[in-house]
Amino acid sequence: MIDSYKHQGLRRQLVQLLKEKGIRDQRVLDAIGKIPRHYFMDSQFDKFAYQDMAFKIDAGQTISQPYTVARQTELLELEKGMKVLEIGTGSGYQTCVLLELGAKVFTIERQKILYEKAKLLLAKMNYQPKFFYGDGYAGLPAFAPFDRILVTCGAPHIPEKLIEQLKPGGIMVIPVGEGDTQVMKVIRKSLQGVLKIEDQGVFRFVPMLKNKSGM
Ligand code: SAH
């Protein structure tokens, strides 16, 4: 794994572009400026790593577009030390952004190959989230409640179990919609347990899929 001056230069340009597109949280911009996104893609696709686009990884899935990663992270209003549940580890890139912001991350992936690959890569990069191979619709009741929940695949509806696992005072960011595009929902649970839901624009994600048999 080589992070050349060329990669670093392209990464600085990507950060500049994300600023122009409206990302304001400096911690998010710093994380994107620091993490070599090309490590998360096959080396032959190196040159695409710092373009603001999603890209195919294994199992028919994608590494999310950098703008989407930045915007979702910004919407989480993360503070250091918070417990975050991430649904859809994928390449593990978003996981690293959350870790750079000081979160304790619990991440779930339903594709075995992606779970295995992300585990290996992040260990090499010295990032230490808790990895789970399983179904995001179920969340992680044994580790609940979570200060923040981030869903990185398009959900047909808001999963009830995830709402239950959100701490009072917590925030969940989830793209909801069954077609090609989803509406980004920011769900706030008050200390009394009342939900307030806000829409934050239209995005495009791979679908959040139901149980695989045997899970
Ligand atoms: N944050 C990732 C995005 C990956 S795409 C990245 O930046 O690379 C979304 C991921 O959600 C895919 O890897 C997909 O396999 C996973 N996924 C879809 N449905 C799921 C479910 N029910 N539970 C857990 N993961 C799921």
The DSSP call for residue 62 is E
Token pair 């580890």: residue: 89
CATH architecture of 5-203: 3-Layer(aba) Sandwich (3.40)
Integer Cα distance of 7 and 181 in angstroms = 31
Global pTM reads 0.97
pLDDT at 47: 84
Question: If you measure from the C-alpha of residue 11 to the centroid of ligand 1, how many angstroms do you get, rounded to a whole number?
Answer: 24
Bridge partners, 121 (sequence order): none
Question: If you measure from the C-alpha of residue 108 to the centroid of ligand 1, how many angstroms do you get, rounded to a whole number?
Answer: 8
**Protein residue with its CA nearest to atom 20 in ligand 1:** 208
Question: If you measure from the C-alpha of residue 136 to the centroid of ligand 1, how many angstroms do you get, rounded to a whole number?
Answer: 9
Tokens of 133: 């191979």
Cα 55 to Cα 21, 34, 138, 182: the distances in Å are 19, 19, 27, 18
**Protein residue with its CA nearest to atom 6 in ligand 1:** 63
Instruction: Report whether 122 contacts 148 (CB < 8 A).
Output: no
Question: If you measure from the C-alpha of residue 90 to the centroid of ligand 1, how many angstroms do you get, rounded to a whole number?
Answer: 5
pLDDT at 212: 62
Cα 76 to Cα 4, 25, 69, 71: the distances in Å are 31, 11, 11, 9
Q: Return the active site residues.
A: 64
Integer Cα distance of 59 and 180 in angstroms = 19
Instruction: Report whether 206 contacts 154 (CB < 8 A).
Output: yes
Counting from 1 in the atom list of ligand 1, the atom nearest the Cα of 153 is: 9
Counting from 1 in the atom list of ligand 1, the atom nearest the Cα of 69 is: 7
pLDDT at 214: 43
Q: Which residues line ligand 1 (CB under 6 A)?
A: 61-64, 69, 87-88, 90-91, 93-94, 108-111, 114, 135-137, 152-153, 206, 208-209
Q: Which residues, given as ranges, of the chain have pLDDT below 50?
A: 213-215
